[in-house]
Structure 1
Amino acid sequence: MTIWILLGLAIAIVLWGIAIYNRLISLRTQVANGWSQIDVQLKRRYDLIPNLVESAKDYMGYEQETLKQVIEARNSAITANKGGGVPSQASVAAESALTASLGRFFALSENYPNLKANETVQKLMEELAGTENKIGFARQFYNDSATAYNTAVLSFPNNLIAAGYKFELAELWRVAEAERATIEATPKVDLR
């Protein structure tokens, strides 16, 4: 009788371990999916930027340095994200630098009425703004997935299985200093 109880207990422990392992795998896959969603939107942004810069080049003659910085930031971001997978600190920093340079470009474009009136430029700016929104939503989904995964990896008794199978914590997407400086430099509107 005791052998059956011990055998039943051993089977229950194995099944419990398998359930925890499968849950960790599911959460890790969801984190990878979250990053893939960001990656899709980043690719779209990378494709839109050269067209926008080329369209704006004729109108923004005095702002060639800004246009050059946008393209350089785009190229750096592409290089930083070549490895795929979850974001590294380098890819987050490169994406933040690109976001900051795009912010400067959008701010400067306000000074050029002919640029704002150009239908092609306007359409590209709207598409890019929509893509930026989608990137924001994808980052939020990624961070939510990464937080759920990290919580599962760190929680007892999951951490016993996670340590045994070397489940590593996922990095959260954080605003890098370049992007933070742009956010803090945003002018305040006072409607009084």
Structure 2
Amino acid sequence: MKKTSWGFIAVIVGIILVLGMIFAGKYNSFVNAEESVNQSAAQIDNQLQRRADLIPNLVNTVKGYSIHEKEVLTQIANARAKLAGAQTKTDQANADAELSGALSRLLVISENYPELKADKQFTQLMDELAGTENRIATARMDYNKQVETFNKEIKRFPGSIIASMGGFKAKDYFKAEERAKQVPQVNFGETK
């Protein structure tokens, strides 16, 4: 009888150890996936900061040519401040869309100043800004892929049980603002 009770205890301990190893392995994979999401989010922040650092130089270059275009320059400054103060990915996406819109208006204004378009510093800043915009788009795509992977892991069984026990929650995707889905209206100097 003693052999049977020790064997039974050994089986129970073995099952507990196996379940503990499964739990630890899955928990660690959630930690890794969450860190990948955080790293991808940091890359978005990094590229947004790079763009924010380029904008004052661009604005100062344009100021010399378009002193009376203060409204757009003010919109850029306000949108840049909102982006810097964004607390959530949704706030960040909205501020980013606002900044992109203001920059688009600035580019339209630059069309009215041929000497500005020929300015070497302006051209260089525009090239850097275009490269940064591409990096931002890539960083957003990478972030959303990491979020997708993480969210799938924590929603699948048995991972969902371990995720809820470990306090892991689904992450938000970086989404475009609704107005970014609208096709922009372009008119080349036509007056209404």
What TM-score do the two structures reach when normalised by structure 1? 0.88
The residue that corresponds to 1:58 in the other structure is: 64
What per-residue deviation string (whole Å, max 9, x for no partner) do you get for residues 75-123 of structure 1?
111122xx5xxx4322221111111111222233223211100001111
Q: Distance in 1 between matches of 2:16 and 2:97?
A: 51
CA contact (8 A) 1:99 1:179 kept: no
> Which letter does structure 2 place at the counterpart of 1:39?
D
SS of 1:168 mapped into structure 2: coil
The residue that corresponds to 1:128 in the other structure is: 129
The residue that corresponds to 2:40 in the other structure is: 34
Is 1:172 the counterpart of 2:178? The answer is no
The residue that corresponds to 1:21 in the other structure is: 27
For the pair shown, the structure with the greater C-alpha radius of gyration is: 2
What per-residue deviation string (whole Å, max 9, x for no partner) do you get for residues 114-139 of structure 1?
11000011111111111111011111
Residue number among 3, 11, 16 corresponding to 1:5 in the alignment: 11
Residue number among 47, 58, 77 corresponding to 2:83 in the alignment: 77
Is 1:109 the counterpart of 2:115? The answer is no
SS of 1:130 mapped into structure 2: helix
Greater mean deviation of Cα atoms: 92-101 or 144-153: 92-101
> Which letter does structure 2 place at the counterpart of 1:64?
K
> Which letter does structure 1 place at the counterpart of 2:84?
I
What per-residue deviation string (whole Å, max 9, x for no partner) do you get for residues 34-79 of structure 1?
0111111111111110110010012123422112211111111112
The residue that corresponds to 2:4 in the other structure is: none
Superposition misfits of 4+ residues, deviation over 4 angstroms: none
Report deviation, 1:178. 4.1
Aligned CA-pair RMSD: 1.7
CA contact (8 A) 2:147 2:172 kept: yes
CA contact (8 A) 1:153 1:159 kept: yes
**1:186–1:24 Cα change, 3 Å:** farther
Identity %: 34
The residue that corresponds to 2:149 in the other structure is: 148
Greater mean deviation of Cα atoms: 94-103 or 153-162: 94-103
Q: Distance in 1 between matches of 2:102 and 2:171?
A: 27
Is 1:43 the counterpart of 2:49? The answer is yes
Q: Distance in 2 between matches of 1:135 and 1:93?
A: 14
The residue that corresponds to 2:190 in the other structure is: none
CA contact (8 A) 1:116 1:122 kept: yes
SS of 2:11 mapped into structure 1: helix
What TM-score do the two structures reach when normalised by structure 2? 0.88
